[in-house]
Structure 1
């Protein structure tokens, strides 16, 4: 049996989340439900959660960028990442630890100011490098044991949203997001866009 690392207290977790300046997510099993749908011409579909996507947009709007770091390569991921306005989309990165180091260097962000959410053994490398490691509820046991934060939701079903909300609330930006969304809704209804 593998021994789990002690989880941070709520205060320690909030302190880690408050320092986050970059959110990095694995894709399959984190931003998606992990299902891969193939047709005769190759991969056709992936399932993304709208609430996860909206959380990434809200984070970007208040100055908290997000990126995807995945071992697989898919045009679907590029489309979704561009749609959400992600800061970076790194695909085909089998060695995720060094790829994360490159990403941190590119954005001039220290590892302790980064959050990484993964779900499988190949995510342990980047998780061990960051200030806030996270995973969905259905991540493999070794990842759940290493993560500072284990979401209550499964991958592709709100886990990313939970991490985004944790970081925004801990850094005092959640109220900014709520206010921004209220102002946006108010403007939309006035011009008949609702």
Structure 2
């Protein structure tokens, strides 16, 4: 089953931003005995992100945490725009879009919890993973079949790419 999004929205999309915890990961944090923590990223999602970038969409990460592993993952995927340590994600998304000369109607966002709601509402095309908090699922235009960290990002990317090619 694939997401049924508007081909017009997909074709107009110039910027797609993703939250990290609960979207690009399953939301769990793994702590070492030294108190450091690890995140686990899905390689299928990574490939989807690379394909979406190749289709001409600018990619961004907006996350509430500030960690070197997010910067590393973004660099590995070629994501230039990484905004960390921001709880005001709608404000961060709008500011990034303005900086890039992109309007809300050309912007997409994927998030899974309360800090994401303003960004989900601001973007023209918004997504929440299947296991997102109810507030994010209600704010999003589309809810994936896959859970965060388990292919939700790939599902989003594939749907956008598929609908971009139809327009």
> TM-score, normalised to structure 2's length?
0.92
Q: Quote the residue 2:32 is aligned against.
A: 39
Q: Quick one: structure 1 residues 40 and 151, their matched pair in 2 at CA, closer, same or farther if it must change by over 3 Å?
A: same
Does residue 145 (structure 1) correspond to residue 147 (structure 2)? The answer is no
Deviation at 1:11, TM superposition (A): 7.2
Contact persistence 2:5–2:163 (CA under 8 A): no
Unpaired stretches in structure 2, ≥5 consecutive residues: none
Where does structure 1 lack aligned partners over 5 or more consecutive residues? 1-9, 174-194
Equivalent position of 1:68 in the other structure: 61
Larger deviation, residues 17-26 vs 68-77: 17-26
Question: How many residue pairs align between the two structures?
Answer: 164
The reply to whether residue 104 of structure 1 matches residue 97 of structure 2 is yes
Among 146, 161, 165, which residue is 1:168 paired with? 161
Helix, strand or coil at the partner of 2:31: strand
Higher normalized contact order (CA 8 Å, seq sep 6+, divided by chain length): 2
SS in 2 for 1:52: helix
Q: For 1:12 and 1:82, how far apart are their aligned partners in 2?
A: 28
Q: 1:125 to 1:11 in 2, by over 3 A?
A: same
Match of 2:15 among 7, 18, 22: 22
Counterpart of 1:3? none
Counterpart of 2:88 in structure 1 is 95
Please give the root-mean-square deviation of Cα atoms over the aligned residues, in Å: 1.6
Which is greater in Rg?
Answer: 1
Structure 1, residues 157-193: CA drift from partner, whole Å, max 9, x if none?
A: 11111111111111118xxxxxxxxxxxxxxxxxxxx
